[in-house]
Structure 1
Amino acid sequence: MADKLESIRKLLDQTDRTIVEALAKRQELVREVSELKIDDESNIRDTEREEELLDKITKLAREVGLDRYFAEQLFKDIIHHSVRFQTHSLVDHQNEQKNADTVRVAYQGTDGAFSHQAAFRHFEERYAQVDCFGYDTFRQAAEAVKEQKVDYAILPIENTTAGSIRETYDLLADDKLHIVGEEAIRIIHCLLALEDIPVDRIRRIMSHPQAIAQCSNFLATLHDCKVESYIDTAMSAKKVLEDGDLSQAAIAGSYAADIYGLKILKRDLANQSENFTRFVVVGPQSVDVDPQIPCKTSLLMVTSHDKGALVQCLNVINEHDIRMTKLESRPKPNEPWKYQFYLDIEGNIANPEVNVALQELEQEASSLKVLGCYPAQVGNGDQ
């Protein structure tokens, strides 16, 4: 029984390797297709071709006895990844970044942080080398862009459980920073320790305040255990390793567990299973985005104190049939009781309708600043 099970597991491992190698081969073909489309200015998406592909996949799944829904969902993800890669390739080409081999990215935290993971997720397929530099604070990461120490910084801006990261919004008001992209990753918080020991033996847990807030339900079930805020999730994992104390644990990602050689005592600690963090990629210059690419435009707006001023501004967006995906208010620095608003709208500033809407909005508001126009990866359909 044991020998047969081990034999089957070896076959599963071989099959998994074959699947991964096939996906890598497919991605190389996608890269070739992307280069051809750029050269002859073809559209990135061919929805008719996508529907034909999905139809073929579901029929093939039926023939080989595989769940058709599973196969369809899997290939929808594969298509999404293909479109995402081609989108980035086109943006890089149009902004003269096609031949760059190395990109330098700043983030808050240390190796293994979710921001570190998001940086690789966003840039790894586009560049031969991704050099990431961790900083203690969001501000230091942003300053590294302004001082030309790095090409970009990746900053968390909102989480589906804990809400907005307001410090990032404040940093975006700087005229020398421009949003050039966004990335969203699923946050899977894990309890990490030196050894695989029972959770009830843990007496001290460390993590970033946001992670602690997102895992409050789990933490409430623990007894005789002190929970402490720390600089960063990955830094808390690193401290567990350095301290060498079996009674200590950290809440961090499995990526950090791999880097620091820690054991995962428990997975999926967050209050909400669908726990995502959206990051923005900021650079020293804005980017041009091809009209065929679904875009998001982020704005910073200050309204007058007149009655209904905000409503009038929002009506401008509505009258032009533009969808607003985010509205966040923040106190205006050095001006008590005055507020500025951060908005995300779907649309490209190169689109005439969006451009007219922004001109009218600028007339209606006390001030209006475009923080960035960039390819939408979050909240814009399959793109």
Structure 2
Amino acid sequence: MASPNLDTVRKDISGTDKQLLELLAKRRQLSMEVAKSKLASSKPVRDTTREQQLLVELIETGKSLQLDAPYVTQVFHSIIEDSVLLQQAYLQQHINPDTIAHKVRVAFLGQQGSYSHLAAQKYFARKAEEVIEHGCKTFKEVIGKVENGLADYALLPIENTSSGGINEVYDLLQHTSLHIVGEVSVPVEHCLLVATATSEEKIKTIYSHFQPIAQCSEYLSHLPEVAIERTDATSHAFEIVANMARDDVAAIGNADGGRLYGLTAIRTGLANQKQNYSRFIVVARKPIDVAEQIPAKTTFIMSVKQRPGALVDALIILKQNNINMCKLESRPIPGNPWEEMFYVDVESNVSSSNLITAMEQLNDITTFIKILGCYPSDDISPTEPVVD
């Protein structure tokens, strides 16, 4: 039996890929029609019961086509997530027409290739046709770009699953007049990146931002003879290593970012936690409204009276109003020794009756309270099919 002609097979694959893209585009259009129908019905964007039924049916159909369940599930998780985010973006633009723009100016830490840059690309992929990038050296400069009208949005890392909250960002949020209007979480894959053909054993100096250094502390603890140099951003570390072009220096950061500077990863998976994610917030000069069909988060800061149980009393108010708190972070108040400012994230729309009541009650027992923003939740958890 003659072997198939490779060129012919590759041509058929290319034709099939084109058909797949056309079908994906058609599915996107249908998702937009669903979003438009939800404007009038006020139905939630997500219907996890229907998603589960859909996945079960697709897995069964896939079996008849010799496609295994994990493959079908993975593909349609991506398709469903895209559909949800597309519908949310449409509903948000409808309720916030002033935010519609073909071109946006975005400030972030570092230059091309930094984690903040990658997060900005992900967040604005569905929200603008053109993104004008403003790389900055410090978080203060990032915020200042928006406060002074030189950028429309700022992207700031707020927490990491490995190293925890970014204290400098929390402290800056105490004093800015900007509002949180969005969030985005990105997977963090720390790699050891080099500019020349070398080996891990030859490395004498490693450059990176302090966050990747903290998140890779276990790996670095086994390199006592290696000097660790902090940089303003991972992109700055990439730039330094690329310019030095030596076999004894390396950077820690994202492989895709390092590739922009001609760097190659010689070791991956450096983070203390293998499931490593960073969450970023998006801030702007004006607050936004969040459509009722979309899961929302509200972030506020508060300080409580210096008496036993004051914080507990505040948190009980959230519980009594059936509001789920998903984040609580404390930071010292400058000039007030031993007093703390608490940052709180709750899963609730600021316009909901429950949160309005809770905020009124919190006003009575706190010494200071301020809403930093209400924004769509980035948590698009995949629905798992239940297959017998």
CA-CA distance at 1:353 after TM superposition: 1.4
User: Aligned partners of 1:226 and 1:27: how far apart in 2?
Assistant: 52
TM alignment of 1:99-118, pairs within 5 A? 99-118=100-119
SS of aligned partner of 1:337: strand
1:282 aligns to 2:264 (yes or no):
no
CA spacing shift, 1:357–1:223, aligned 2, 3 Å: closer
User: Aligned partners of 1:27 and 1:189: how far apart in 2?
Assistant: 35
Q: Is the Cα–Cα contact under 8 Å of residues 197 and 247 in structure 2 kept in the other structure?
A: no
Q: Is the Cα–Cα contact under 8 Å of residues 255 and 264 in structure 2 kept in the other structure?
A: no
CA-CA distance at 1:37 after TM superposition: 3.5
CA spacing shift, 1:10–1:236, aligned 2, 3 Å: farther
Q: How many pairs align?
A: 380
CA-CA distance at 1:321 after TM superposition: 1.4
User: Aligned partners of 2:78 and 2:99: how far apart in 1?
Assistant: 25
CA spacing shift, 1:147–1:19, aligned 2, 3 Å: farther
CA spacing shift, 1:25–1:298, aligned 2, 3 Å: same
1:233 aligns to 2:265 (yes or no):
no
Q: Which residue pairs with 2:29 in the alignment?
A: 29
CA spacing shift, 1:312–1:265, aligned 2, 3 Å: same
CA-CA distance at 1:307 after TM superposition: 2.0
Q: Deviations over 1:162-190 (max 9, x none)?
A: 11101111111235111101110010011
TM alignment of 1:310-349, pairs within 5 A? 310-349=311-350
CA-CA distance at 1:87 after TM superposition: 0.9
User: Aligned partners of 1:149 and 1:26: how far apart in 2?
Assistant: 38
CA-CA distance at 1:41 after TM superposition: 5.5
TM alignment of 1:1-383, pairs within 5 A? 14=14, 21=21, 25=25, 28-29=28-29, 32-33=32-33, 36-37=36-37, 40=40, 43=43, 44-47=45-48, 49-97=50-98, 99-222=100-223, 224-378=225-379, 381=381
CA-CA distance at 1:195 after TM superposition: 2.5
Q: Deviations over 1:66-120 (max 9, x none)?
A: 2213312431232122112211221122111464101111001111000000001
Divergent runs of 4+, >6 A: 6-13
User: Aligned partners of 1:12 and 1:314: how far apart in 2?
Assistant: 61
Amino acid corresponding to residue 21 of structure 1 in structure 2: L
CA spacing shift, 1:34–1:111, aligned 2, 3 Å: farther
Q: Is the Cα–Cα contact under 8 Å of residues 112 and 257 in structure 2 kept in the other structure?
A: yes
- Stretches of structure 1 that go unaligned for 5 or more consecutive residues are none
CA-CA distance at 1:366 after TM superposition: 1.2
CA spacing shift, 1:98–1:337, aligned 2, 3 Å: closer
Amino acid corresponding to residue 29 of structure 1 in structure 2: Q
User: Aligned partners of 1:102 and 1:270: how far apart in 2?
Assistant: 35
CA spacing shift, 1:15–1:357, aligned 2, 3 Å: farther
User: Aligned partners of 2:334 and 2:250: how far apart in 1?
Assistant: 39
Q: Is the Cα–Cα contact under 8 Å of residues 196 and 245 in structure 2 kept in the other structure?
A: no
Query: Which shifted more, 99-108 or 36-45?
Result: 36-45
CA spacing shift, 1:175–1:133, aligned 2, 3 Å: closer
Question: Percent identity among equivalent residues?
Answer: 35
CA spacing shift, 1:24–1:195, aligned 2, 3 Å: farther
State the TM-score, normalized to the length of structure 1.
0.90
CA spacing shift, 1:321–1:36, aligned 2, 3 Å: closer
User: Aligned partners of 1:24 and 1:51: how far apart in 2?
Assistant: 20
State the TM-score, normalized to the length of structure 2.
0.89
SS of aligned partner of 1:65: coil
Q: Is the Cα–Cα contact under 8 Å of residues 208 and 232 in structure 1 kept in the other structure?
A: yes
CA RMSD in angstroms, aligned pairs only: 2.8
